[in-house]
Amino acid sequence: MILFNKPYVTGKEIDYIGEVIGSAKLSGNGAYTKKCHEWFKTGYKMRQVLLTSSCTDALEMMAILMGIKPGDEVIMPSYTFVSTANAFILRGAKIRFADSRPDHPGMDEDAIETLVTEKTRAIIPVHYAGVACDMDKISAIAQKHHLLVGEDAAQAIDSFYKGKALGSIGNLGAFSFHETKNISSGEGGMLSVNDPELSARAEIIWEKGTNRSAFYRGEVDKYNWVDVGSSFLPSEITAAFLYAQLEQCKFIQERRNHIWNLYHTGLTMIAANGHFQVPFIPDYATTNGHMYYLVCNSLDERTSLIDHLKSQGINAVFHYLSLHKSPFFEGDHDHRVLSQSDRYTDCLVRLPLYCGLQDEEVEKVINAVKTWTERARSQR
Ligand SMILES: *Cc1c(COP(=O)(O)O)cnc(C)c1O
């Protein structure tokens, strides 16, 4: 069986965790947390970053830091993970869901401005599959209407928009180190704070609403409850695991990009027969080998492809279900039809992609897709 995902382990995780246990400093914001922070700041020119227990947590911090209040409106794509929306719903916001692009599951940038009202506070672009949204377009709309931009960069580590690291462009950015992401610590995440005006408060919310970080730097003589907050920081055990992965980031990314390119070369040729579309990467964007997906022509054809791959011992999976049609949100949606989001809900299929996947296995998947298209043609 070719699995859909297999978490990659570098081998150093256990050594670094052992070191943490020996150091008797297990709680958060210790030496490994600082090493991870430095790694991102120097590698991707990020101003300030804060590790969190998950990207879900980073998104919740984002919503608090943005000062989102009941009644405020937030614009985001419908085709995303529930956490993108939940973080803002928890603050009482009203979500206006935008459709996806016809050529990419990312949010249709041209659909954003029509959703802006006097109550809109923020735009949350999601860099689907690690492929950048058009950030210049989004930033221009944000500037014109005085909105904040929070990037959901959960899938977007080591990917770029016009040379700038994703997650470093909006006021804030949220990353995930869940086991399904390129770099993982089992569960884990990070908030990048690119807007200097949000910087001081970010640290306080991160540390349960206290000024403990400033206290440890010797900037205040006792630490106090100064704002709202929560326990967003991960333990040093998680940070140690993450650091072992970050050290191998270059290797992991080379391997994942290699697999992505093998798929893309093999499947672009087969796509010419009209059975599915392959990913489109705009000129301003890069791919980070996070995900390889196909978009079939219908739900039935996607089911047929997934079943065919399963019969060949290959585990391929579909992805999000449009959030505007979810049981939780449906009643609050404003009746707009989001046809592209629904199309990706029905037709998108993700192929196996992980660091340990062998070239021969990738060939096997490509061949299985090919035999499916041949069979589909002979059945017409
Ligand atoms: C994975 C993911 C999340 C959630 O990440 P967690 O670390 O599991 O909380 C949020 N948004 C997107 C787009 C994701 O892919």
pLDDT in tens, 89-101: 999 999 999 999 9
Question: Looking at residue 299, what is its pLDDT?
Answer: 98
Nearest-angstrom CA–CA distance, 31 and 315: 39
Question: What is the per-residue pLDDT across 3-30, written as a single tens digit (0 to 9) for each?
Answer: 999 999 999 999 999 999 999 899 999 9
Pocket probe for ligand 1: among 56, 57, 182, 320, the residue whose CB has the most ligand atoms within 8 Å is 56
Pocket probe for ligand 1: among 53, 55, 350, the residue whose CB has the most ligand atoms within 8 Å is 55
Q: Estimate the crossing angle of helix 359-378 against helix 299-311, to 10 degrees.
A: 130
From ligand 1's centre to the CA of 213, what distance in Å? 27
How far does Cα 25 stand from its chain's mean position? 30
Nearest-angstrom CA–CA distance, 75 and 82: 14
- Domain layout of the chain by residue ranges: 13-247, 249-378
pTM over 0.95: yes
**Which pairing describes strands 276-277 and 189-193: parallel, antiparallel, or unpaired?**
unpaired
In sequence order, the 6+-apart residues with CB closer than 8 A to the CB of 273 are: 373, 377
Question: Looking at residue 378, what is its pLDDT?
Answer: 72
Query: Which residue in 81, 205, 101 sits closest to 154, CA to CA?
Result: 81
CATH superfamily of 249-378: Aspartate Aminotransferase, domain 1 (3.90.1150.10)
Q: Residues of 124-148 as b/e, b for ≥16 C-beta within 10 angstroms? A: bbbbbbbbbbbbeebbebbeeeebb
CATH for 13-247? 3.40.640.10
Q: Which residues line ligand 1 (CB under 6 A)?
A: 54-56, 80-81, 83-84, 126, 152, 154-155, 176, 178, 189
CA of 188, closest atom in ligand 1: 7
From ligand 1's centre to the CA of 13, what distance in Å? 22
From ligand 1's centre to the CA of 152, what distance in Å? 8
CA of 83, closest atom in ligand 1: 10
From ligand 1's centre to the CA of 86, what distance in Å? 11
- DSSP letter at 131 equals P
**What does pLDDT average to over the chain?**
97
- In this structure, how many other beta carbons lie within 10 angstroms of the beta carbon of residue 239? 27
Question: Looking at residue 380, what is its pLDDT?
Answer: 55
Question: Looking at residue 27, what is its pLDDT?
Answer: 95
Q: Which residues of the chain have pLDDT under 70?
A: 379-380
Beta strands in the chain (DSSP E): 48-52, 73-77, 94-98, 100-101, 104-107, 120-123, 148-152, 160-161, 164-165, 172-176, 189-193, 276-277, 292-296, 348-351
CA of 58, closest atom in ligand 1: 9
From ligand 1's centre to the CA of 156, what distance in Å? 10
Question: Looking at residue 216, what is its pLDDT?
Answer: 87
